[in-house]
Structure 1
Amino acid sequence: MNTAIERDTNIDANEIVESSTRHLSRKFAGIYDEAYIRPIVVESYKSFASAKIQTFVAVFTTRFAEDRLRALAKIDGKIRNTMPSVLFVCVHNAGRSQMAAGWVRHLAQDRVEVYSGGSDPGREVNGAAIEAMNEVGIDISNEFPKPFVTEIVQAADAVITMGCGDTCPIFPGKRYEDWALEDPAGLGVEAVRPIRDEIRRRVVELLNDLGIETK
């Protein structure tokens, strides 16, 4: 893994990486050291080089790197986590997978660990998806498109794809489903509402299968 940021990257990038590395080193103290964490932070930072809103790249970098480190710690047996975990993957991680993750957080609260990612991440979350979810009291405006990574796929108990099934690596013993759902890209909120509601129905079924009761 390349631990260096390219020469033409400005000094703020290095500050973001160092600040995130220090923060995560404290959070994962006794599990992973800075030498292990820094390359993951650098790689996570590079995932957001084309993000539309650069103001939040520092936050995105830290959150994504933390998700990856938590997944790695679970795989390595360094942390015990009895909660089921679910990964939602669509093409751009801007609409369907973000709405699905939002529904899980809302319906399961803190009883499920949820991740999302894209095979070709977009630059921002779909505005119509944000609006449609706001209508049902769920805020996904602080989320961000990101790639799915092998360690998160491996750590998840269930992997749900939405139109990009063959791009996900397959690990034995996991639940894989492909949900055939219309892509909300380019649609208005009126057309996104039925997609939102169908995602909710499927999420409820998934959570029930995982033993998580919903209202």
Structure 2
Amino acid sequence: MTSVPRVLFVCIHNAGRSQMAAGFLSSLGGSAVTVRSGGSEPADQINQVAIAAMREVGIDISEGIPQLMTAEAVQESDVVITMGCGDVCPIFPGKRYEDWQLADPAGQGLEAVREIRDDIRVRVESLLAGLLPA
């Protein structure tokens, strides 16, 4: 792993789960981590309910733009966190992979997205604790 861990969050549309996770890791990890996100089939925009849910906890993801996950992005990352994108994520030796089973916020109301957001926060905090020295 590099001196500054590089983390890539991947979900299908890069519009909800991966954007929320990237928002949390960027906010909590600051310059101690490099954060990217992508999707196997990027949407046109970030999920508006995910934006609202993250605003409630003081994190603004509204400027995010769904990006296509590339093999290069995976190869340049130390940790790759997938969220429901199945087998489309390329596998490279020496990378740490985790698959977070999370509900898709697409089409869900704020109450449901809050639960997903809170689950993501707990997972990101645990990930960060394992990446950075105490």
Task: Please report the TM-score for the alignment, with normalisation by the length of structure 1.
Answer: 0.60
* Equivalent residue for 1:137, pick from 48, 58, 67: 58
Identify which of structures 1 and 2 has the higher relative contact order when contacts are C-alpha pairs closer than 8 Å and 6+ apart.
2
SS of 2:31's partner is coil
Runs of 5+ unmatched residues, structure 1: 1-80
**Displacement of 1:212:** 5.3
Aligned counterparts, 1:76-115, within 5 A: 82-115=3-36
Q: Give per-residue Cα distances to partners, 1:46-95, cap 9 Å, x unaligned.
A: xxxxxxxxxxxxxxxxxxxxxxxxxxxxxxxxxxx621000000000000
**Displacement of 1:123:** 0.6
Which amino acid in 2 is paired with 1:105? Answer: S
Q: Is the 8 A contact 1:111 1:212 kept in 2?
A: no
CA distance in 1, matches of 2:30, 2:133: 10
Higher gyration radius (CA): 1
Query: Does 2:126 correspond to 1:208?
Result: no
Seq. identity, %: 62
Match of 1:192 in 2: 113
Task: Please report the TM-score for the alignment, with normalisation by the length of structure 2.
Answer: 0.96
Runs of 5+ unmatched residues, structure 2: none
Equivalenced residues, count: 133
Higher helix fraction (1 or 2): 1
Match of 1:122 in 2: 43
Q: Is the 8 A contact 1:108 1:212 kept in 2?
A: no
Q: Give per-residue Cα distances to partners, 1:98-124, cap 9 Å, x unaligned.
A: 000000011001110000000010010
RMSD: 1.0
Higher strand fraction (1 or 2): 2
